Chains A and B, each alone.
Chain A
Amino acid sequence: MNGFAALVARDLRLVWRRPGDVAVVLAFFVVATTLFPLGIGPEANVLVRIAAGVLWCAALFAALLSLDRLFASDHEDGTLDLLLLAPWPLELAALAKCCAHWIVTGLPLAALAPVLGVAFGLEPEVLLALAATLLIGTPTLSLIGGLAAALTLGARKSGALLALLALPLCVPTLIFGAGAIEALATGGDFGAHIAILAALALVALATTPWAIAAALRQAGE
Chain B
Amino acid sequence: MLRRRHMVPFLLEVADLACRRGGRPVFERLSFGLAAGELLALTGRNGSGKTTLLRALALLVRPAAGTIRWQGKDVGAEPETWRGRLAWLGHLEGLKGDLTVAENLDVAERLRSATRPDAERLSAALAAFDLAALADRPIRTLSAGQRRRAALARVVLSGASLWLLDEPLNALDTAAQAGFRAALERHLAAGGLAIAATHTELGFAGMRTLELGSPA
Chain A positions within 8 Å of B, measured between CB atoms, are: 2-3, 6-7, 9-10, 13-14, 17-18, 76-79, 81-89, 220-221
- What CA separation (Å) do A9 and B110 show in the bound complex? 11
Determine if B98 and A18 form an interchain contact, defined as CB atoms under 8 angstroms apart. yes
Smallest CB-CB separation from B21: which chain A residue?
A221
Task: Report which of A3, A81, A82, A83 forms a contact with B114, defined as CB distance below 8 A.
Answer: A3
> What's the minimum C-beta distance from B205 to chain A, rounded to whole angstroms?
30
Q: Are B80 and A6 touching (Cβ within 8 A)?
A: no
Q: Please report the C-alpha to C-alpha distance between residue A1 and residue B112 in the assembled complex, in whole angstroms.
A: 12
Write out the residue numbers on chain B whose beta carbons fall within 8 Å of the beta carbon of A220.
60
Q: A82-B108, A82-B111, A221-B61 are in contact. Are A14 and B98 (CB under 8 A)?
A: yes
**By the criterion CB–CB under 8 Å, are A17 and B86 in contact?**
no
The residues of B with any CB-CB pair to A shorter than 8 Å are 55, 58, 60-62, 80-81, 83-84, 86, 88, 90-99, 103, 107-108, 110-115, 138
> In the complex, A87→B161 CA distance in Å?
14
A17 x B111 contact (CB < 8 A): no
Interface contact B96-A14, CB-CB below 8 Å: yes
Task: Check B111–A83 contact: CB distance below 8 A.
Answer: yes
Give the nearest-CB partner of A16 in chain B. B98
B77 → chain A, closest Cβ, in Å? 14
What are the residues of chain B within 8 A of A2 when measuring CB–CB? 110, 114-115
Q: Tell me, rounded to whole Å, the shortest Cβ–Cβ distance linking B53 to chain A.
A: 14
Complex contacts, B138 vs chain A, CB 8 Å: 17
Contact B107 A10 (CB under 8 A): yes
For B58, give the chain A residue with the smallest CB separation. A85
- In the assembled complex, the CB of A134 is this many whole angstroms from the nearest CB of chain B, namely 29
Cα–Cα, bound, A14→B95 (Å) = 12
A6 touches B107 (CB 8 A): yes
- Contact: A10 with B60, CB < 8 Å? no
Chain A residues within an 8 Å CB radius of B111: 3, 6-7, 10, 82-83, 86
Which chain A residues lie closer than 8 Å to B92 at the CB level? 76-78, 81
Decide: A87 near B112, CB < 8 A? Known: A17-B98, A221-B62: yes
> Cβ of B61: which chain A residues have Cβ within 8 Å of it?
221
Q: How far is the CB of A107 from chain B (nearest CB, A)?
A: 21
| A153 nearest CB across to chain B (Å) | 14
Residues from chain B with a CB closer than 8 A to the CB of A79 are 94-96
Contact: B110 with A3, CB < 8 Å? yes
Known: A9-B107, A18-B98. 10 other contacts (CB 8 A): A2-B115, A14-B99, A77-B92, A78-B90, A79-B96, A81-B92, A86-B83, A87-B80, A87-B83, A88-B114
B107 to chain A, nearest CB (A): 5
Inter-chain CA distance A79–B55, complex, in Å, is: 14
Are the C-beta atoms of B110 and A87 separated by less than 8 Å? no
Supposing A14-B96, A77-B96 touch, asked if A6 and B110 sit within 8 A by C-beta, the answer is yes
A87 lies within 8 A of B60 (CB):
no
Jot down 6 A-B pairs with beta carbons below 8 A, ordered by A.
Answer: A10-B96, A77-B92, A77-B93, A85-B58, A85-B86, A87-B83
Q: Which residue of A lies closest to B147 (CB)?
A: A77
Distance from B135 Cβ to chain A, minimum over Cβ atoms (Å)? 16
Q: Give min CB distance, B39 to chain A, whole Å.
A: 20
A2 to chain B, nearest CB (A): 4
Residues of chain B lying within 8 A (CB to CB) of residue A87: 80-81, 83-84, 112-113
